[in-house]
Structure 1
Amino acid sequence: MTALSYRLLMIHSKLDAEVDYEQKRRFPDLFRLLRLKKLRLVIKDRMAHLASVRQIGMA
């Protein structure tokens, strides 16, 4: 695992925890929740792109 993939994984994990926390609040902030989910999706896409580039490079 490269440093970049590890960092992306940690960011994704932190965003996931923040989404869970926000959803469990009594009155969740829907705009913050939407922003967190979009950021989490961006990180997930970057991780998938990084994985596909590494597979192509190793083939």
Structure 2
Amino acid sequence: MSLSSHLQELKRKHESLEHAVEEAHRAPGVDGLQIAELKKQKLRLKEEISRIETQPAH
């Protein structure tokens, strides 16, 4: 997998988690811990995306 395709996949997953968090906020009875876990996953992806984007090209 090339770096750019890996980056695109990470961005797709990040966007998917963004939608999941929004849905969870709107859904009645969703546990706050579930939302927190989704947000942690989203943050990890964002950090990885940022790390990849700021790496110097070889």
Question: So what's the TM-score if we normalise by structure 1?
Answer: 0.86
- Compare the two structures and name the one with the higher helix fraction: 1
Q: How many residue pairs get matched?
A: 56
Aligned to 2:57: 57
4+ long deviations beyond 6 Å? none
Identity %: 18
Superposition RMSD in Å? 1.5
TM-score (norm 2): 0.87
Instruction: Describe the superposition over 1:9-55 as per-residue Cα deviations: whole angstroms up to 9, x where unpaired.
Output: 110011011100000012221111010000000000000000000xx
* Unpaired stretches in structure 2, ≥5 consecutive residues: none
- Show structure 1 runs of 5+ residues with no match: none
